[in-house]
Amino acid sequence: MNETLRKYIKGDRIIWFVIIALAVFSSLVVYSATGNLAYKHHDGNAIYYLFRHAKFLMVGIGIIIAVHHLHYKWFARFATVFLYFSEALLLITLLTGVSLNQASRWLTLPVVGISFQPSELAKLALMMFIAKVLAQHQRDDSNANDAFKPIMIHVGIVCGLIFKEDFSTAGLIGATALIVMFIGRVSLKYILGTVAAVLIFVTVIIFSSEYVPFLHRASTWKARIMRHMEDDDSNTADYQSERSKMAIATGGVFGKGPGNSHQRYFLPHPYSDFVFAIITEEFGLVGALLVMLAYLILLFRSGVIVRASTRTFPAFLVIGLATLLSVQAFINMGVAVGVFPVTGQPLPLVSMGGTSTLFTCLALGAILSVSRNNMKERSALEVEENIEEQ
């Protein structure tokens, strides 16, 4: 058994432990949080959603195993192709996408009838492209600021195509891209200038929503922001946030126990958008801190992988993907505790969802690919040093 694991499971062992721990924990939480949904659609059979979620997790772990055996050079070679392909899918989705929660974010594949979110593919493709461009501008004879224009062109395209229907995802992608560019030595004045320009643009768009008919969700964004700014005792306070806070407040230190959540019957999407509130209610402060710790460990171990990298592309790839997953996780948790307005971002590897789970696993597979190859290169170097010593 151990030999089989060593053969097929390589890379950072601690990240593997975090992945398995989150996957097992998410199955327990999703089973509890989908009770109300099961009564509405499957005669109370919550096992249906547990098996569905477990199926995606198993496929996702299979993706991690397959991808982490690839050499990271393939991500660099096909980064531009993946990006153009994902941008084309985003355009098609914008024009003909399937409506879900008043937003056209889903694309249905013909013949097979499977629906997925092209924005998830675009996030990964863009991070690969950013890593490739930044790596090309890290040489002594190159200026890192020259990477700003080609990167921002595609960041603008991807975020622009997503922005109309999914403001939070567009913001997540844009913020992550700026963080990675800052780490890649792009001038701070370029980044701050971009942030200022985007904030002005978004503010004007959101608070002038009645004059922008093609942005039908702008009024929803404005309402969420205004409700978030209201006092907790206000009659206009956000219902979702209030229920989430009630779940967290009643969880205590050790929680009510698995399956004993009360707010799961009132919270919209307790198995995805507000899964962290259910975790805190059922497992208390201890459970919430352990989940937070898992993502911090993932981010820390990704930093260890970056330090061990001898080339710039894999280092930037890990930075981009780890930052993307970590920021998304803390946005989800921040929404649950009332720090951010409601966004609809899932908790990576924990929230129930097909597309988000599979593409999260694809990102984790890429991170572990870099880790595996770093270990392989280090082992080869040690062998050469031993030969030279002899």
Residue with tokens 């992945």: 19
Which amino acid is located at 262 in the chain?
H
In this predicted structure, which of 94-108, 118-132, 308-322 has the lowest mean pLDDT? 94-108
pLDDT in tens, 137-184: 887 667 888 999 999 999 999 999 988 778 888 999 999 999 999 999
Containing 357, the helix (H) or strand (E) segment is helix 354-389
Q: What is the pLDDT of residue 213?
A: 60
Q: Helix (H, G, I), strand (E, B), or coil: what is residue 98?
A: strand
pTM: 0.90
Amino acid 138: pLDDT: 85
Q: Mean pLDDT over residues 200-229, rounded?
A: 68
Residue 115 has pLDDT above 50, yes or no: yes
Q: Which residue would you say has higher pLDDT here, 355 or 101?
A: 355
Is pLDDT of 235 > 50?
no
Task: Decide: 284 and 98 in contact? Cβ < 8 Å.
Answer: no
Find the mean pLDDT for residues 312-334. Answer: 95
The SS3 call for residue 105 is strand
Name the pLDDT band for 364 (thresholds 50, 70, 90): very high
Mean model confidence pLDDT for the chain: 85
> Is residue 106's pLDDT more than 80?
no
Return the ∠ at Cα 230 (arms to 228 and 235), rounded to 5°: 110
pLDDT confidence of residue 238: 67
Residue 79: per-residue pLDDT: 94
255-279: average pLDDT: 87
pLDDT of residue 42: 72
**pLDDT of residue 134 exceeding 70:** yes
pLDDT at 110 over 80: no
Instruction: Report how far apart the first and last C-alpha atoms of the chain are (Å, whole number).
Output: 35
Do the Cβ atoms of 355 and 120 come closer than 8 Å? Answer: yes
**What is the C-alpha separation between 305 and 288, in angstroms, rounded?**
26
pLDDT value at residue 3? 65
> Is the pLDDT assigned to residue 347 strictly greater than 60?
yes
